[in-house]
Structure 1
Amino acid sequence: MSITLRNIKVWNTGEVIDLVVPGTAAAYFADTSVVADGADIDATGLTVAPGFEDPHVHFRDPGQTYKESMVSGCRASASGGYTNVLIMPNTLPALDGQTVSGPEATGAKEVLDAGFDNVIDFLQQYDTAHDVQLPVRYDLCVCASKDRAGHEASDVADWLKYVPGFEDDAKTPAMLTHPITAISDDGSAVTPEILDQVLENVKASDLYLIEHCEHHDTGAVNEGPVSRELGVPGIPEDTELKIVARDIEAARRTGVHVHFQHVSTAISFEAIRRAKAEGLPITCETAPHYLALSDEALLKYGTLAKMNPPLRSEADRKATIAAIADGTVDLLATDHAPHTLAEKELGFLEAPNGIIGLECAYGVCHKVLVDGGFISDERLIELMSVGPAELMGHVPTDVAALVEDYAEPAPTGDDPDGVIAGESDAQPQREGVNRLLDLSRVDDADNVDLVVLNAAEEWTVDPEQFHSKARNTPFGGWQVTGRPLATIIGSQLMFSRL
């Protein structure tokens, strides 16, 4: 059986086609009633695009599964239209490839009880060890330093075998399915004392460095009028620029690809803009909260708007949008960071940084960027799908290339036009009938990842309806436009709110 979406638009060509998704109703989860097998749905006004990819998520598994787990994080991803994510290394124990210590260490018992001795194996084989189906693809980001402590660079020997292109003849299917594709100490910048060794590790592994472009020892929110009104120590904007400038110079010196995460200030964007003009191997991302909120949001949302880097000034917010519009920003990433509401209620000095974002990112970005007239629908999809996929070394699905010139599967026997079944896989296009993308007929169907979008849908963000365990977002109650309606991975429907 299958589900057919009639009159759906291809995201980058505008062609209206019919999309056939194979599989059964039991193969996916849904926000609404499950769509019946064989359903024929009028998808007029909807868009099909390559699945979103997010190179910056925190799933808290192992070590803090009361905040999020692989299961809840992956379900949140699929709900947000994401087909692939990159898991950051601040798990407990850290994702550094070292053998975990005794079970008394936070998270170590989870790893050992599952039958593994390091976090990489634990995450790569999570589905089989826990007998679950995870509805999203994921890659892993390894720690730049041991224990992510910043004192000693992680040992390439502990994780190189998990990297694509190294010892491929000895790789297990799990190593190939969930490979290590980047290096980071996300949460803080790589420390100066180990930077050169980390860059050598990046070169030796042919990966790229994901840099948290900020380091500060004091402060909780952006330094400025809001921090003074709140009476909270501030973080100067040049804390970000110092790391950006340092690492641009490192890229110039070594040729290593440096990717800056969640850039938030006008001065950093200008430095990155100049580095790109110079031809240096620099890319960058920002997150929905930096284009949608300024530090003034702290006065309304309190610690729900506390993050690192902190929300910046309104001028910086506008500079972030300008950097997206002029192409300085290569992609958008959520920095999905789950915490409990009890933790976020501890006050500005003690509450953890971060917000969740996977399930409302498209709506927030569409509301601000597309409805605001800064970029097109097509460009937003590029920023959330094509750009992240290219960064992570994936090939985004070329939807238009899969569309064929037939209206339905070839019939048995002779067809009315004299084409013998079996001699051709396609019928001539009939006037007034859409061309077809039938995922059951696609070559390499296992690698076809798509998202179905309603760019015009107006909806209210309700964290209580999220699939994430966490609720820590300032966007609750926001009226946004644009919503993912279905997530298709490997040509199979994984999530639906059709």
Structure 2
Amino acid sequence: MLTLRNITVWNTGEAIDLVVPETDGARFLRDEGAVSEGEVDATGLTLAPGFADPHVHFRDPGQTYKESMVSGAAAAASGGYTNVLIMPNTVPAMDGVTITDPTRAGAAEVLGRGFDDVIDFLQHYEPAHDVSLPVRYDLCVCASKGRAGREATDPEDWRWYMRGVAEGEKDSFQLAHPVTAISDDGSAVTPETLDDVLRVAKETGLLLIEHCEHHDTGAVNDGPVSRELGVPGIPEDTELRIVSRDIAKSRETSVHIHFQHVSTAISFDAIRKAKAEGLPITCETAPHYLALSDEALLEYGTLAKMNPPLRSEADRRATIEAIEDGTVDLLATDHAPHTLEEKERGFLEAPNGIIGLECAYGVCHKVLVDGGHISDARLIELMAVAPSRLMGHDPADIAAMLADSAHTGGRRTFDLGTVEHPESTDLVVLDTKTTWTVDPERFHSKARNTPFGGWDVTGRPLATIIGSKLVFSRL
């Protein structure tokens, strides 16, 4: 049993004693020297709902040399995340289509475990690999077959895997990891499939998550930096074209479209107007678009190469303004593991993306809270409450669960062993004041591709609790 004395509830300011009766031994991870039982003086620490990230890439199956479900889940727990949504650019793609060719890339991993499609493989990943993962996860199905952009996926290939469908026929793992969204993340839904994808989203009720950017040439943001580097640029309106197109389609169909990693002032302006019109539009941005502009390419090279690319300093400031005024609904990491060898290929050949789960809170806290743009509570809303709701989950309402708690020594005791629904109580313990240095060599992820190595940031998750059980500790 672990007792945290005098910890503060994130949205009420009340100081309480938190009792975590169990450590989930099968899932439990901890940093060196951390405790998992006994009493801890938690004065100054904050208790909040667990973080959620609707935008991660775990590379399993097909590219497990970059990341696996095991290492990705460990990274998530280390970063304070209790729920993630896995994007469909696995190998083979997560389209629900039966794998018939065992020579396809990644096919052997799926077929060798006794499954014939990627969704079934990922839903049963834990029993098939005899592991227990320290994070909850949902799955995002491809918008097009093979993510090739030529033909929309057929709901009959994956409808059964959705939440709320044939639940009496499913085992606990299928129920725990449903398909809850549709996307071709990595590229925008193509013009030739867009109408069919929107029809499928409306018919099934799935959230359409759109990679709102498309370009055929270019590697970094078009501007003075791209010219200094001698690298072909990507104009900022490549993002706006997809945003404007999809806003018009949302107006026509009433389909909820969620825009990923928005990065430009002109796109935020369009989304702001769409929201004022009452359209079902939401959006996210990522920590790197808050903390870095394209000038970072001159310092970090391809470690700062991503898609959409880092934009101008003016766009970075506009991104922060969009958070301040509520245009941005939530923060997501777009956790994208690659090997350092791949990242060293140069701007034209290096893959896009950086990892983010293990330092997202610290980077965002440094930029947004220390920068005076938002409060600690608002950052928790952006990283925990809003993304959980987007994914169809209810974040832990700590204040409500405390209503019947007993007072001990002038403080209420929040005993997770006696809450009404312990199995669904997911929490994170935060030190909002601590300063620490990002060291990728200490990450739980397999990957090290981040420009934030060596940064001094503030705010860090100290413990992650899933289903009222401790799954990660650096206390």
Interval containing the TM-score (normalised by the shorter chain)? over 0.9
Partners in 2 of 1:153 and 1:406 — Cα distance? Answer: 51
5+ residue gaps, structure 2? none
Partners in 2 of 1:326 and 1:219 — Cα distance? Answer: 32
How far apart are 1:36 and its partner, in Å? 5.0
Partner of 2:33: 33
Partner of 2:431: 454
How far apart are 1:175 and its partner, in Å? 2.0
Whether 1:489 and 2:471 are equivalent positions in the alignment is no
Partners in 1 of 2:246 and 2:24 — Cα distance? Answer: 49
What secondary structure is seen at the aligned counterpart in 2 of 1:441? coil
- Render the CA deviation track for 1:367-410: whole Å, top value 9, x for unaligned: 00000000000000000000101100000000111115554xxx
- Render the CA deviation track for 1:125-151: whole Å, top value 9, x for unaligned: 000000001000000000000000000
CA contact (8 A) 1:55 1:392 kept: yes
What secondary structure is seen at the aligned counterpart in 1 of 2:417? helix
Partner of 1:426: none
Letter in 1 for 2:326: G
What secondary structure is seen at the aligned counterpart in 1 of 2:363? helix
Partner of 2:417: 440
Partners in 2 of 1:25 and 1:62 — Cα distance? Answer: 26
Letter in 2 for 1:223: D
Partner of 2:67: 68
CA contact (8 A) 1:184 1:210 kept: yes
How far apart are 1:22 and its partner, in Å? 1.1
How far apart are 1:164 and its partner, in Å? 1.5
- Render the CA deviation track for 1:264-300: whole Å, top value 9, x for unaligned: 0000000000000000000000000000000000000
What secondary structure is seen at the aligned counterpart in 1 of 2:158? helix
Partners in 2 of 1:406 and 1:337 — Cα distance? Answer: 42
- Render the CA deviation track for 1:207-261: whole Å, top value 9, x for unaligned: 1110000111000000000000000000000000000000000000000000000
Partners in 2 of 1:76 and 1:347 — Cα distance? Answer: 27
Partners in 1 of 2:43 and 2:172 — Cα distance? Answer: 40
Letter in 2 for 1:386: V
How far apart are 1:33 and its partner, in Å? 2.3
More off after superposition, 160-169 vs 125-134: 160-169
Letter in 1 for 2:343: K
Whether 1:470 and 2:466 are equivalent positions in the alignment is no
Letter in 2 for 1:153: A
Partners in 1 of 2:197 and 2:173 — Cα distance? Answer: 26
How far apart are 1:102 and its partner, in Å? 1.9
**Any residues of structure 2 matched to 1:109-128 within 5 Å, and which?**
109-128=108-127
- Render the CA deviation track for 1:10-47: whole Å, top value 9, x for unaligned: 0000000000001148451101225253x011000000
Say if 1:381 and 1:24 are closer, same or farther in 2 by CA, change over 3 A.
Answer: closer
Letter in 1 for 2:300: Y
Partner of 1:51: 50
CA contact (8 A) 2:88 2:141 kept: yes
Say if 1:406 and 1:181 are closer, same or farther in 2 by CA, change over 3 A.
Answer: closer
What secondary structure is seen at the aligned counterpart in 2 of 1:440? coil
What secondary structure is seen at the aligned counterpart in 1 of 2:448? coil
**Any residues of structure 2 matched to 1:47-446 within 5 Å, and which?**
47-404=46-403, 406-407=405-406, 429=407, 432-446=409-423
Letter in 2 for 1:43: A
Paired-residue identity, %: 74
What secondary structure is seen at the aligned counterpart in 2 of 1:19? strand
More off after superposition, 202-211 vs 352-361: 202-211
Higher alpha-carbon Rg = 1
Letter in 2 for 1:390: R
What secondary structure is seen at the aligned counterpart in 2 of 1:132? coil
How far apart are 1:82 and its partner, in Å? 0.0
Q: What is the root-mean-square deviation in Å for CA atoms of aligned residues?
A: 1.0
Partner of 2:16: 17
What secondary structure is seen at the aligned counterpart in 2 of 1:483? strand
Partners in 2 of 1:352 and 1:24 — Cα distance? Answer: 38
- What TM-score comes out, normalization by structure 1 length? 0.94
Letter in 2 for 1:249: A
How far apart are 1:444 and its partner, in Å? 1.0
Letter in 2 for 1:448: T
Partners in 1 of 2:112 and 2:169 — Cα distance? Answer: 25
CA contact (8 A) 1:93 1:107 kept: yes
CA contact (8 A) 2:23 2:471 kept: no
Partners in 1 of 2:58 and 2:292 — Cα distance? Answer: 24
What secondary structure is seen at the aligned counterpart in 1 of 2:209? strand
How far apart are 1:346 and its partner, in Å? 0.1
Letter in 1 for 2:429: V
CA contact (8 A) 1:25 1:34 kept: no
Say if 1:145 and 1:441 are closer, same or farther in 2 by CA, change over 3 A.
Answer: same
Aligned residues: 474
CA contact (8 A) 1:161 1:171 kept: no
Partners in 2 of 1:137 and 1:167 — Cα distance? Answer: 21
Partners in 2 of 1:405 and 1:86 — Cα distance? Answer: 33
What secondary structure is seen at the aligned counterpart in 2 of 1:56? strand
What secondary structure is seen at the aligned counterpart in 2 of 1:299? helix
What secondary structure is seen at the aligned counterpart in 2 of 1:97? coil
Partners in 1 of 2:250 and 2:405 — Cα distance? Answer: 50
Partners in 2 of 1:345 and 1:35 — Cα distance? Answer: 38
Letter in 1 for 2:301: G
